[in-house]
Amino acid sequence: MMTTTARELAEPVEPIDPDITCAEVFDFLLSDGEVLNIPVVEQGRPVGLVNRLDFMLVYVRMYGREIYGRQPISALMHKSPTIVEAGASCEEINARLSELAGSSPLQGFIVVEREQYIGLGSAAVLMRVMAEINMRRAEELEQQRRRAEAASESKTQFLASMSHELRTPLNAIIGFADLMRMQLFGDIQPSRYLEYVHDIHGSGVHLLHMINELLDMAKIEAGRFDLHDAEICPLEICEEVTRMLRQSVETARVQFEMRVASDLPHIMADEQQIRRILVNLLSNAIKFTPAGGRITLSFAERADGGLELAVADTGIGIPADKLEKVLEPFEQVENSFTRTRAGTGLGLPLTKAMVEAHGGRLWIESVIDKGTRVRAVLPAERVLREAKNDAA
């Protein structure tokens, strides 16, 4: 888009000398009713500006002619007019005029090049040009939005197609590897082959998890992340996820504590997503907490009527300037500990998106070498008070 500058806005209005009398200026304004502003120039340099309205208000009032008629126009001109360089863009001029407190837009502005007067710009012309610029920008933004939506749609369709093509054979590999692990059709010999089968199964599960995360992120970006709400008992789902991750906790050799009251009210939410929120947060805590550390899962009521889920650990922590970064897709905080932990960098962004899809919010509190606490709040509208009363 071409940039319109002050040079294009400048009209070659004939300037006047600062020594010309106010009476002469008055006569000139009476003879030409279309003139709104007159630049005052001395030796090529602008020194003032005469605005028709301001000049007339002073000159025609009682004794105005007698007082100012023979005085030079410098007595009634604006001595500090707005002066802009010829190369200044319309945006720069508009911003400058907007910043000038008490300045009337009818005064316009003087355009100079190397301090020499070349013309006069009017606020009306500037506003018209700015309206055209804003209209063109709006059209360009709309085109960019449509292109982005089309690209997002194409990406979503591609990922959906690829995920189907990948998941179908991958599920078969995982299923057959699972059967072989259980040795349902006889012992596998030599024993090293059984170890290979375990590796195949583990790698397949890991790859399937990554594919699912990529597809979910594509759905979120395309606005297709739908909720399937149902009544959920927070205690039951926390206990279920805890059982699922028990082996991981034992393997990591960390201590685990769950603090969820038995009379916690039920919630209306997507059960699968709430389960994944818990799994993602706990898996992250397990992954980044060294052996001997401690992980705490809590689910409690808030004063505002909502419920707060929190996962705290005594792990490596996250630098303060990286707390926002880890909530962005494909971002991970690099250090010697995290480089040994595989991942897509989608776990926390997906978790945040799932919490926000429920109308909640998620944030992180962390101190390096002390630990991290991830807090997710579900709003009061999601809490079923009747369920708590019935349980009581």
Judgement on whether residues 337 and 241 belong to the same structural domain of the protein:
yes
pTM for the model: 0.56
Task: With CA atoms as reference, report the closest residue to 9 among 119, 99, 144.
Answer: 119
- From 90-99, 123-132, 141-150, 329-338, the region with the lowest mean pLDDT: 329-338
Collect all residues with Cβ–Cβ distance below 8 Å to 265 and sequence separation of at least 6.
301, 307, 383, 384, 385, 387, 388
**Looking at residue 339, what is its pLDDT?**
42
Residue finishing a domain among 177, 193, 221: 221
pLDDT classification of 59: cutoffs 50, 70, 90:
very high
**154 found inside a domain:** yes
CATH code for the domain in which residue 348 is found: 3.30.565.10
**65 found inside a domain:** yes
Q: What is the pLDDT of residues 60-101, one digit of tens each?
A: 998 899 999 999 999 999 998 889 999 998 888 888 887 775
**129 found inside a domain:** no
CATH code for the domain in which residue 61 is found: 3.10.580.10
Residue finishing a domain among 221, 250, 276: 221
**131 found inside a domain:** no
CA distance 238 to 266: 12
Q: What is the pLDDT of residues 203-215, one digit of tens each?
A: 888 888 788 877 7
Judgement on whether residues 341 and 251 belong to the same structural domain of the protein:
yes
Domains of the chain: total: 3
Q: What is the pLDDT of residues 141-159, one digit of tens each?
A: 999 999 988 887 787 777 7
CA distance 315 to 333: 13
Q: What is the pLDDT of residues 212-230, one digit of tens each?
A: 877 777 777 766 677 899 9
Judgement on whether residues 54 and 117 belong to the same structural domain of the protein:
yes
* Longest alpha-carbon distance in the chain: 120
Structural domain that includes position 207: 146-221
Judgement on whether residues 172 and 196 belong to the same structural domain of the protein:
yes
**135 found inside a domain:** no
Collect all residues with Cβ–Cβ distance below 8 Å to 333 and sequence separation of at least 6.
318, 319, 322, 325, 326
Judgement on whether residues 290 and 376 belong to the same structural domain of the protein:
yes
**98 found inside a domain:** yes
Q: Please, what is the Cα angle at 22 between 16 and 27, to 5 degrees?
A: 85
% pLDDT > 90, the chain: 49
Judgement on whether residues 154 and 98 belong to the same structural domain of the protein:
no
- 87 neighbors 123 (Cβ within 8 angstroms): no
